[in-house]
Amino acid sequence: MSKVAVFGAGYVGLVTGACFADLGHEVVIADILPERIAALRAGEVPIYEPGLDVLLERNRERLSYTLDVAEAVSGAEFLYIAVGTPPTYSGDADLSAVWTVVDSLEGVAGRAVVVMKSTVPVGTGEKVRHRLDARGLEHVGYASNPEFTAEGTAVRDFQHPDRIVIGAFEDADAEAVAELHSGIEAPIVRADVASAEMIKLAANAALMTRISFINEIANVCEATGADVVSVAEGVGLDRRIGSSFLRAGIGYGGSCFPKDSLALKQLAANSGYHFQLLNAVIEVNELQKRRVIGKLQQHLGGLRGKTIALLGLAFKPHTDDVREAPSLVLAGRLVAEGAEVRAWDPVVHGADVLPQATILGSPLAALDGADAAVIVTEWPELADLDWARAADLMRNPLLIDGRNLLDPRALRAAGWTYDAIGRASA
């Protein structure tokens, strides 16, 4: 069993640490936020990720938490970096937290391996290698081991991944990282460091491309009388295409896709290449988020003084993450149009998330007296709602189903004017 230090107690770092501990390794998780470390030490989980609480509790003996880099580094054979890499104003990834960790590594014993879990531009590993060498840490190894988990299913994704990607400068380091994953059944893709970094960015870009593709198909369906749900089913059953990421909606959000697409676009641009397709993917997504506003205007006329209920705030179900969520864009646009915004989400409660909106405790409370409702996140609670009762509560029972979650016929039978994405509007 190995000793693993994980820098960053966020979505990725906590899941990585908990899953390694579950494999039997001894794990210390380091962060710079005192309240986060105090909460973890007290047995509280600072984020909502299904199954994470159980895993942290089950492996309590093998997990510790610290604010002290030296304590994390002491005796560690693997130094995982899982800090945030948000976008800068230019769209490049902000690597300042990565550099803070790299520059704070002291007293690394033996051939510990620094492993990059954070999503970083191609070329970062090379730069980290130089920086380690310049700091007299030539004896320390380096590997890229990008993370492909999705929030909401991160624990399952880590434990049953489609593949484990490992890029290293030295074979022995790649083998050590592969060995660390013993117990997880998955193909291991060995690559050079730059290619491992690119695999992560390219995989995300491929998924976003599928989303923007099906959203454009949806928009053409709407204009021509076809139904994108049937179309996606018929297209997705083609084994050459597959059915995942063919669900039309109001666009992708979250802490990864938007920033990683910008980072790849910027990476290409910095290297003198105009990534035309990716630019279109990003633009289509931005326009898609705003289509709901057009639909509301079409049905209601002006939005000034109208009360609009947003159902779901998280960027997708089973997470409390609202970073780059379509709900934020929608709420901002609605307020700018003079509407009053109410919102409900089963796990996102804080008023600070959406100060322009009134956050209510149940879908029915959000719908009571509203002029229109928008399904922003496909939470299962919404599929199970009593929509006939909900229609009676509305001042005007108009529903824009931004995720094509519900059955149009059932909703119309329940008294709703129902509109969705890429489906006939009546």
- List, by residue number, the catalytic residues: 256
* Pair 310, 330: CB distance under 8 Å: yes
CB neighbours of residue 66 within 10 Å: 18
Q: Where are the beta strands (DSSP E) in 124-213?
A: 141-144, 164-168, 188-191
CA–CA separation, 236 and 134 (whole Å): 51
Q: What share of the chain is helix, strand, coil (3-state, %, to 5)?
A: 45, 15, 40
Please identify, using beta-carbon distances, which residue of 91 and 236 lies nearer to ligand NAD.
91
CA–CA separation, 273 and 25 (whole Å): 43
Please identify, using beta-carbon distances, which residue of 76 and 374 lies nearer to ligand NAD.
76
CA–CA separation, 370 and 349 (whole Å): 20
Please identify, using beta-carbon distances, which residue of 144 and 255 lies nearer to ligand NAD.
255
- When CB distances to ligand NAD are compared, the closest residue is 10
The least distance separating ligand NAD from the CB of residue 67, rounded to whole angstroms, comes to: 9
Q: Beta 113-116 vs 141-144: how paired, if at all?
A: parallel
Residues comprising the chain, all counted: 426
Q: Give the H/E segment covering residue 24.
A: none
The least distance separating ligand NAD from the CB of residue 100, rounded to whole angstroms, comes to: 4
Chain residues binding ligand NAD by CB under 6 A are 7-13, 30-33, 36, 82-85, 97, 100-101, 117-119, 147, 149, 151, 255-256
The least distance separating ligand NAD from the CB of residue 246, rounded to whole angstroms, comes to: 21
- 127, exposed or middle or buried, with CB in 10 Å at 0-12, 13-18, 19+? middle
3-state secondary structure (DSSP) of residue 58: helix
Please identify, using beta-carbon distances, which residue of 126 and 368 lies nearer to ligand NAD.
126
The least distance separating ligand NAD from the CB of residue 278, rounded to whole angstroms, comes to: 17
Token pair recorded at residue 202: 């390219």
The least distance separating ligand NAD from the CB of residue 81, rounded to whole angstroms, comes to: 8
* Pair 355, 289: CB distance under 8 Å: no
Please identify, using beta-carbon distances, which residue of 77 and 151 lies nearer to ligand NAD.
151
